Every structure is written in C-alpha cells, then in structure tokens.
C-alpha cells in the first residue's frame, strides 16, 4: 500500500506540479502580477505616492505653498511654474504634490483604522456568535445610523482646533461599520469549515483560532475591502475639503485645491488651477479600483486568466 | 447539581473497570430552534437523545446509523466540540462534561478527531509541516524547526513522502489529505481517536488504504477508536463492537460477530439485510422499511422506531424501551425481548 502511494505522488510531483510548492498566497501573487491593468495601476499609484512623499525636496517646503504672492496671481503654466499659479499666486505644481501627501496620508490612515476596527469587531462577532454577536452588531447598527456628513460637521465644530488628525479620527469612527459587517459574514461562512473545529480540537485558544486559522482565510476579502475603502476615503477627503469641512484651509490637499474651482471664472478660463489636482485625483482613484479588481481576481480560485 | 455530579463521579471511580477508557452516560445533545422576534426557543432538535455506552482501552467501537441519526453529533459532543445538554462523559476516569477554558484545552491532547471531509478539515493557508506540528506546539514550547524530525517520522508513518512537509493541502488528493489529517491527530499521541466518517469522502480503492492505515496505527500506538460511519462493511472491517443508532438513540450494542450473525433489533435486521451480496446466485431476503425517518424535532412517542417497525406492538407506542442485556455482551432496546 505505502509504496504505491509514494510512487504515485512522486510521479505527480515530477511531471505535473511545478518544482517548488507554492502557498495560496504565492499563487495569488503570481496571478496578480500577470494582470496588466492592475500592474499599470500599481506603478501609477507608486509614482504618485513617491512624488507626494518627496514633495519637499522636489519642489518647495510646505510653508512656502501657503504663502500668498500677489505679484504671481493666476499665471499660466510656464517653465518657472509647471502648472502655473492659482489666484493667490501659489505654485499649483508644488501644491498638487504636497496636496497628494495630505490626501494620501489621510486616506491611508483612515483605511488602516477602518480595516483594523472593522476586522476586530467583525471577526469577534462572527466567531463567537450568540450574545457577543448580538451586542457588537447592535452597536454597529447604532454607529451606522449616524448621518455621516452632519456628524463630521458637528464634530469638526466641536474640535475647534481642527487638524488633519481630528479628521482622521472622526471619519474612522464613522466608517468601520461596513467592514465589520462584511468581515462578520465572511467569518461566519468560513468557521463552518471543519478546519476550525479541528483547530479547536487540537487545543488552540479562541484567540489563536481566530488569528491563525480564520483571519488568514478571510484576508483576501479584507484586502479587497481595504483597497475599495482607500478609494472611497480619498473621495471623502476631497468632498469634505471641497465643502470646507475637511482639511484646514492652510494645508494644501486635493480637495482644498479643487475648492478654487467653485468660482466660475476659474472653472471656465483658468483651467490650470483645477485640472492638475482633478486629473491626479481621478487617476489615483481609478488605479486603486483597478488594483482592487486585480486582487479580487487573483484571490478568486475560479478566475484563471 | 454540582455536588451531585461530583458524587456520581467518585462512585464511578470506585466501581470503574480499569480498562474502560471512555464512558458515556445518558448523553443528550439538543439543538435549540429559535424563532420569533425575541429569539425564543420554539423547539429543539433532539440530535442525540439519551445514549450510554463505554469503550475499553485498545478496542474499536463502531457507531452506525443513517444520515441525520446523530452519530456525528455524538462524536463531537464527546470531544467537547459541542456542549452536551445533559448526561456525563467520563474520559479516563475524569468527568469532562462540564470543564471549560484552559482545563478543557489541557485534556484535549488525550483525544483527537479525524474529520470527515479532507477538503475542508485542513487549513488551506498552512504548510503541511506546520499543520502536523501545530498540535504539539500548542502544548509545548517547541518550535516548528525543532519538531521537524518528528513530523517527518509521522509523515512516513502515514505513508506520505517526506517532501510533503513543504507542500500545501491543495497539492494533495483526498486520500493523501486524509493521511495528513491522521498524522495531525496522531501528533499528540492521544489515547482516543474519534474518526467521524473518515473514508466516506474517498473513493473505494483509497478507502481500504486509509482503513488499513488506521488499523496499523492502532496496533502501533495502542489507540482506542470510536469509529463513526454509515457504511456497514467499513464498520465491520474496523470494529470490535458496534453500536447502531436510530433517530438520536442507541438501539443495539453488541460484539461484531454477534451483531452480524444475529441482529436482534428490527432496525439492525433491516440494515444488515441491505448489505450487498457479492455472490449473485445467493438469494437473500431484504427487509424493506416503510416510510421515512421521522423528524428529530418531534420524535414518535414510545419507541422511536415503531411507525416503521414490522413487529410493532401496542406497548411500543407508549413506552420507550431501554437498552437491556439480552445475551452476554449484546444489548438491545426493543420490547420484543422483554
């Protein structure tokens, strides 16, 4: 009996299988790297991120971007100002890069917070079920019922020294509910698998069962959810700043820059003031969504492209 | 309540036969069905309803019954993967029915389970080597690396090549995965292994390999098995004694030879008459049961088998029969043998 099995598996190993065995993660990674659109998007996102991070050495310090220069008002793009200057004479190129720093930092921080809170709440509720699930989910419903915009505006006016950090905090606290529900439903489906029962029967503690057995298997969903959240959060920052409830006015951000397009004069005849941030913003959101799509395909065992 | 339990436990300890490894007394596992706005319990599914049996050290008790009769639930309740509604589980002289938390985790190393579905019972994200060493790592401070020689030895014991160590579950066939599952159950050198239909997901040629492997390992590691299956020929091959379950209850328990030669309960008789006969010229009388298995939510009064039983008497509709020893070592729950 034994020699037969060994011979067959050896034969299978040498003929069909690739020489090195691959974890499900490695398989997904390979599939992702083969996805052209996702790769182009990833490169674009990395370039935007790097340019934003190195905004200061590349252009001017952030304090300079806020300085009003009346002699340089609304200048068209030139060699001196790549994207021209805005109505207060500030360099649009430098502000776009520095704005990217603010917008991306905000979006990434909120996403990390949202995914962390959402996963912990969702996994706990889904794994334990019963009254734990009931309590956590009713709390989630409660948080979900806050009208987002209204709440942000109210909280922003309470915290008078509104800074980027307050904004991150406020949006995170209000946005984790969707992720929690998603993770909970995934965990509930996944925990029906016998390997969870098997983990308990070999003496894993609930904490270990969740972190070592459940979470790795719902991680694909969490990662896809994270990319989608990231895109939504960039839009949220832009929307709030556009309305004047977001990042403080003295800090450049894509939303703050787009606010200038509220004046008809800028919108119609001074395109260079709002096109650059709008274009970078659109490109970033698109590429994040494409990357998310790519992740989704890579983790889906049914897609074989 | 608690003192009562303690008293009975000490009682059992005194009387206990030294070679009994597992004793199950009046075990009940009910699943509540919740309904309405307030999630009140509107009904219960009596998945396991008052079963008692014991397993001696080194023997294999087979548990048979059709789908939904509660045999898997019984196995999981005994391993404390499900909570018992009532009754006692005495493992190696210790009442484990109500222990919880860390102390429960500690006793888990003495009993392990081989699961039914080899495609669902291995974490797809973990390397086989880590899967097999994980039970040991849970109970000691040793690292994966440290345990590698032992894992390699286990892999060889269950008939897998050593390079399986670095592979992932998706690279194996069903039979090979079941071997991984067996290696994992063996890693802690448990006293009892509950095999919950370990071969029902495999095709027939692989079934016999896995069954023979289990038998070899039983001799080598001095294991005691509770072998759950719905396939009578598989159970016959594996077991010393066999228990037959119907609708959550145990209707007959006997030595293998006695049960197959002379089944007493009408249900067992019907089951055994349904085993296919390889010789086509041999005429065999099949007992065909009428009707379906009743719902375990609302089981029939009296003997749960009476609506389908050819020998039903008025008494069967009223009084629930209990397991009685009719012949030495042969117990049956049926009014025919009063």
DSSP A186-225: HHHHHTTSHHHHHHHHTT--HHHIIIIIIHHHHHHHHHHH
pLDDT band at A69, cuts 50/70/90? Answer: confident
pLDDT band at A283, cuts 50/70/90? Answer: very high
pLDDT band at A248, cuts 50/70/90? Answer: confident
Which range marks the domain in which residue B176 is found?
2-239
Q: B58: left (phi > 0), else alpha (psi -120 to 50), else beta? A: left
C-alpha triplet B36, B40, B44: angle, nearest 5°: 110
The number of angstroms, rounded, from the C-alpha of A294 to the middle of its chain's C-alpha atoms is: 14
Give yes or no for a contact between A103 and A253, defined as CB atoms under 8 angstroms apart: yes
| Residue of B168, B207, B212 to mutate for A, most A C-beta atoms under 10 A | B168
Question: Do B235 and B288 share a domain, yes or no?
Answer: no
Task: Work out how many CB contacts closer than 8 A connect A with B.
Answer: 92
Looking up residue B177, the CATH number of its domain turns out to be: 3.40.50.300
Q: Is A268 on the interface with B (CB under 8 A)?
A: no
Give yes or no for a contact between B155 and B162, defined as CB atoms under 8 angstroms apart: yes
Greater pLDDT, B13 or A222: A222
Q: B268: burial class by Cβ within 10 Å (0-12, 13-18, 19+)?
A: buried
Determine whether domain A32-59+79-189+219-299 maps to CATH 1.10.3720.
yes
Option in A194, A201, A213 nearest B120 (CB): A194
Question: Do B219 and B282 share a domain, yes or no?
Answer: no
State how far residue A251 is from chain B, nearest Cα, in angstroms. Answer: 44
pLDDT over 70 at A15, yes or no:
no
Option in A9, A193, A204 nearest B120 (CB): A193
Option in B116, B122, B166 nearest A195 (CB): B122
Average pLDDT over residues A238-260: 82
Question: Do B87 and B184 share a domain, yes or no?
Answer: yes
pLDDT in tens, A80-112: 777 777 777 788 888 888 888 888 999 999 999
Note the residue count of chain A.
305
Give yes or no for a contact between B74 and B275, defined as CB atoms under 8 angstroms apart: no
Q: Is B311 on the interface with A (CB under 8 A)?
A: no
Could you tell me the strand order of the sheet in which B249-255 lies? B111-114, B192-196, B224-229, B60-64, B241-246, B249-255, B330-332, B324-327
| Nearest Cα residue to A273 out of A83, A89, A88, A100 | A83
Q: Is B145 on the interface with A (CB under 8 A)?
A: no
Cβ of A198 within 8 Å of Cβ of B175? The answer is no
B residues 235-274 closer than 8 Å to A (CB): none
Question: Do B176 and B252 share a domain, yes or no?
Answer: no
pLDDT of residue B231: 86
Cβ of B212 within 8 Å of Cβ of A23? The answer is no
Q: Which residues of A touch B127 (CB under 8 A)?
A: 23
Question: Do B225 and B322 share a domain, yes or no?
Answer: no
Q: Which of B222, B239, B256 is the last residue of a domain?
A: B239
Question: Do B253 and B233 share a domain, yes or no?
Answer: no
Q: How many other C-beta atoms lie within 10 A of the C-beta of residue B292?
A: 8
pLDDT over 60 at A280, yes or no:
yes
pLDDT of residue A199: 93
Cβ of B123 within 8 Å of Cβ of A25? The answer is no
Alpha carbon distance A128, B207 (integer Å): 35
Question: Do B141 and B266 share a domain, yes or no?
Answer: no
Q: Is B108 on the interface with A (CB under 8 A)?
A: yes
Tokens of A44: 């674009």
Helix (H) or strand (E) holding A37, with range, is helix A36-53
Q: B68: left (phi > 0), else alpha (psi -120 to 50), else beta? A: left
Cβ of A9 within 8 Å of Cβ of B122? The answer is no
Say which DSSP state B305 is in: T
Task: Report the relative pairing of strands B224-229 and B60-64 from DSSP bridges.
Answer: parallel
pLDDT of residue B13: 46
Question: Do B144 and B254 share a domain, yes or no?
Answer: no
pLDDT of residue A303: 58
Question: Do B76 and B204 share a domain, yes or no?
Answer: yes
Cβ of A216 within 8 Å of Cβ of B134? The answer is no
Determine the residue of chain A that is closest to B82 in CA distance.
A197
Give yes or no for a contact between A97 and A59, defined as CB atoms under 8 angstroms apart: yes
Cβ of B123 within 8 Å of Cβ of A9? The answer is no
Could you report the average pLDDT of every consecutive run of 10 residues in chain B (338 residues)?
Answer: 47 57 92 80 87 92 89 91 91 89 89 91 91 92 90 92 90 91 92 91 88 92 92 89 92 92 91 82 78 85 88 88 89 89
Handedness of CA A67, A69, A70, A75 (dihedral sign): negative
Q: Which of B192, B208, B239 is the last residue of a domain?
A: B239
Greater pLDDT, B15 or A249: A249
pLDDT of residue A11: 44
Question: Do B165 and B144 share a domain, yes or no?
Answer: yes
Bridge partner list, B193: B112, B225
What b/e readout covers A158-182, taking b as 16+ CB neighbours within 10 angstroms? eeeebebebbbbbbbbbbbbbbbbb
pLDDT of residue B87: 92
Tokens of A291: 């990357």
Question: Do B290 and B210 share a domain, yes or no?
Answer: no
pLDDT above 70 covers what percent of chain A?
90
| Nearest Cα residue to B82 out of B30, B37, B125 | B30
Question: Do B94 and B51 share a domain, yes or no?
Answer: yes
Give yes or no for a contact between B236 and B256, defined as CB atoms under 8 angstroms apart: yes
Q: Which residues of A touch B209 (CB under 8 A)?
A: 1, 5
Alpha carbon distance B182, B309 (integer Å): 39
The number of angstroms, rounded, from the C-alpha of A74 to the middle of its chain's C-alpha atoms is: 34
pLDDT in tens, A167-201: 888 889 889 999 999 999 999 999 888 899 999 99
Q: Which of B239, B261, B276 is the last residue of a domain?
A: B239
Give yes or no for a contact between B104 and B155, defined as CB atoms under 8 angstroms apart: no
- Average pLDDT of every residue of chain A: 83
pLDDT band at A5, cuts 50/70/90? Answer: very low
pLDDT over 80 at A155, yes or no:
no
Q: B306: burial class by Cβ within 10 Å (0-12, 13-18, 19+)?
A: buried
pLDDT above 90 covers what percent of chain A?
34
pLDDT of residue A263: 79
pLDDT band at A304, cuts 50/70/90? Answer: low
| Residue of B107, B110, B135, B203 to mutate for A, most A C-beta atoms under 10 A | B135
| Nearest Cα residue to B166 out of B125, B135, B126, B127 | B127
Give yes or no for a contact between A273 and A95, defined as CB atoms under 8 angstroms apart: no
Q: Which residues of A touch B184 (CB under 8 A)?
A: 198, 202
Say which DSSP state B81 is in: S
Greater pLDDT, A165 or B269: B269
Q: Is B289 on the interface with A (CB under 8 A)?
A: no
pLDDT of residue A111: 95
pLDDT of residue A21: 67
How is chain A split into domains, by residue range? 32-59+79-189+219-299
Total structural domains in chain B?
2
């Amino acid at each position: 009996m034994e020699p037969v099995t060994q011979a067959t598996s050896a034969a299978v190993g040498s003929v069909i299988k690739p020489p090195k065995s691959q974890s499900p993660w490695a398989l997904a990674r390979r599939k992702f790297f083969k996805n052209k659109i996702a790769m182009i998007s990833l490169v674009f996102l990395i370039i935007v991120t790097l340019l934003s991070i190195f905004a200061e050495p590349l252009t001017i310090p952030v304090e300079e971007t806020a300085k009003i220069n009346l002699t340089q008002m609304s200048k068209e793009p030139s060699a001196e100002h790549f994207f021209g200057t805005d109505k207060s004479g500030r360099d649009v190129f430098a502000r776009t890069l520095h704005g990217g720093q603010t917008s991306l930092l905000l979006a990434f921080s909120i996403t990390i917070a949202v995914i962390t809170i959402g996963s912990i709440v969702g996994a706990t509720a889904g794994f334990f079920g019963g009254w734990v699930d009931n309590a956590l989910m009713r709390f989630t419903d409660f948080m979900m019922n806050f009208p987002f915009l209204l709440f942000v505006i109210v909280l922003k006016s309470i915290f008078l020294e509104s800074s980027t950090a307050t904004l991150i905090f406020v949006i995170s606290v209000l946005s984790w509910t969707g992720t929690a529900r998603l993770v909970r439903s995934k965990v509930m489906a996944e925990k029906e698998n016998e390997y969870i029962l098997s983990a308990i029967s070999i003496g894993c503690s609930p904490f270990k069962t969740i972190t070592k057995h459940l979470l790795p298997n719902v991680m694909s969903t969490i990662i896809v959810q994270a990319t989608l959240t990231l895109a939504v959060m960039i839009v949220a920052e832009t929307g709030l700043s556009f309305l004047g409830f977001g990042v403080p006015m003295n800090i450049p951000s894509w939303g703050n820059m787009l606010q200038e397009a509220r004046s008809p004069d800028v919108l119609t005849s001074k395109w260079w003031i709002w096109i650059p941030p709008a274009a970078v913003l659109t490109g970033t959101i698109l590429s994040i969504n494409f990357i998310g799509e790519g992740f989704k395909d890579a983790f889906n065992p049914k897609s074989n492209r | 309540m608690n003192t009562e339990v303690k008293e009975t436990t000490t009682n059992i300890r005194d009387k206990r036969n030294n070679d009994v490894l597992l004793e199950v007394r009046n075990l009940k596992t009910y699943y509540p069905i919740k309904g309405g706005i307030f999630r009140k319990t509107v009904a219960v599914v009596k998945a396991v309803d008052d079963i008692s049996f014991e397993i001696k050290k080194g023997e294999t008790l087979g548990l048979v019954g059709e789908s939904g009769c509660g045999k898997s639930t019984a196995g999981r309740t005994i391993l404390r993967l499900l909570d018992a509604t009532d009754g006692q589980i005495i493992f190696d002289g210790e009442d484990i029915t109500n222990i919880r938390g860390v102390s429960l985790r500690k006793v888990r190393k003495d009993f392990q389970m081989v699961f039914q579905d080899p495609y669902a019972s291995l974490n797809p994200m973990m390397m086989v080597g880590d899967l097999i060493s994980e039970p040991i790592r849970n109970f000691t401070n040793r690292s994966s690396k440290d345990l590698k020689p032992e894992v390699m030895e286990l892999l060889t014991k269950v008939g897998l090549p050593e390079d399986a160590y670095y592979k992932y579950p998706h690279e194996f066939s069903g039979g090979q995965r079941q071997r991984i599952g067996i290696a994992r159950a063996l890693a802690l050198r448990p006293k009892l292994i509950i095999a919950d239909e370990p071969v029902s997901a495999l095709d027939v040629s692989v079934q016999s390999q896995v069954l023979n492997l289990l038998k070899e390992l039983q001799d080598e590691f001095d294991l005691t098995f509770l072998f759950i299956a719905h396939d009578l020929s598989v159970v016959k091959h594996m077991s010393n004694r066999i228990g037959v379950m119907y609708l959550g209850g145990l209707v007959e328990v006997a030595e293998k030879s006695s049960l197959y030669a002379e089944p007493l309960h009408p249900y067992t008789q019907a089951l055994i008459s349904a085993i296919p006969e390889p010789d086509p010229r041999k005429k065999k009388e099949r007992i065909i049961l009428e009707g379906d298995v009743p719902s375990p939510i609302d089981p029939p009064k009296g003997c749960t088998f009476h609506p389908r039983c050819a020998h039903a008497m008025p008494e069967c509709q009223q009084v629930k029969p209990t397991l009685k020893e009719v012949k030495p070592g042969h117990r049956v729950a049926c009014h025919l043998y009063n």
